[in-house]
Amino acid sequence: MQIIELANTSLHQDKWQRTIEFICSSHDELKDNYVNLDPDSFLSFQAVVKNDEIICFSGLQASEEKWSPLILRCSSRMWVHPDHRQPGLSKFTKGDKFLNSYYLIPKQLKLAKDLGYRCVFMSREKNSRAFAEWTNLVNRNAGSSFSVLPNRYNVCGHQHTITESCKQLISLDHSNSDSINIWNTYMAKHNIDNC
């Protein structure tokens, strides 16, 4: 396996274009999330490559407008090639078959730390049980301390209309002792359940 960076580089554009074309021609119900995806809009956007093809990607994302200048989202816009997806909650054990949590998230967390960020989160729209299992997998594979928060949050920032896709479950990395305080300071106003 090879890990490549796609943000702010002209390298690997051929691989990226082939991957986007594959996704757009697929029956993936989430393919609209990837159609106009620009890796340069991320602090880091990495991919796992096997046999010269991208088989997984995700990004480390900053948005002062949505979350504050102190908070980052990791595992953003994650995609895994259908041939490499691991179905079923019972299979969320540990190891390199879980491409994103094994190869990419550790690099994203290291970069966040190197850049001085102390608050990193992951999010998902649906299925709290699967998200909790995913969070546990990430902790096992990445050596992180994520835990799912009890409420949903508007991750889209100050929009007049909060769409369903903006209302997301949050898993916050508690590796830094002040991460929850940073989160509450900037994101309490976006707590959907308290509105």
Q: Could you tell me the CATH number of the domain that includes residue 108?
A: 3.40.630.30
**Which of 123, 84, 111 lies closest to 5, judged by CA?**
111
pLDDT digits (tens, 9 = 90+) for 165-191: 999 999 999 999 999 999 999 999 999
Enter the DSSP assignment of 11: T
153: domain range? Answer: 2-194
What is the rounded end-to-end Cα distance, in angstroms, of the chain? 45
- What mean pLDDT is predicted for residues 17-37? 90
| Mutual angle of helices 128-142 and 105-114, in 10-degree steps | 70
SS3 for 159-193, per residue?
CCCCCHHHEEEEEEECCCCCHHHHHHHHHHHHEHH
For CA atoms 23, 110, 10, 42, the dihedral sign is positive
Q: How far apart are CA 127 and CA 143, in angstroms?
A: 23
pLDDT digits (tens, 9 = 90+) for 131-171: 999 999 999 999 999 999 999 999 998 877 889 999 999 99
So what's the pLDDT on residue 146?
98
Which residues, in sequence order, are bridge partners of residue 120? Answer: 72
Q: Grade residue 88 by pLDDT with cuts at 50, 70 and 90.
A: low
Enter the DSSP assignment of 101: I
So what's the pLDDT on residue 124?
96
Q: Grade residue 6 by pLDDT with cuts at 50, 70 and 90.
A: very high
Q: Grade residue 90 by pLDDT with cuts at 50, 70 and 90.
A: very low
CA 17, chain centre distance (Å): 21
How many domains is the chain partitioned into structurally? 1
So what's the pLDDT on residue 195?
47
Do 54 and 26 meet the contact criterion of CB atoms below 8 Å apart?
Answer: no
Q: How far apart are CA 104 and CA 168, in angstroms?
A: 22
pLDDT digits (tens, 9 = 90+) for 56-78: 999 999 999 999 999 999 999 99
Task: Report yes or no on whether pTM surpasses 0.85.
Answer: yes
So what's the pLDDT on residue 193?
78
140-143: which pairs have CB atoms within 8 A and are 24 or more residues apart?
140/93, 140/94, 140/101, 141/94, 141/95, 141/98, 141/101, 141/102, 141/105, 141/106, 142/101, 142/102, 142/105, 142/106, 142/109, 143/106
Q: Grade residue 30 by pLDDT with cuts at 50, 70 and 90.
A: confident
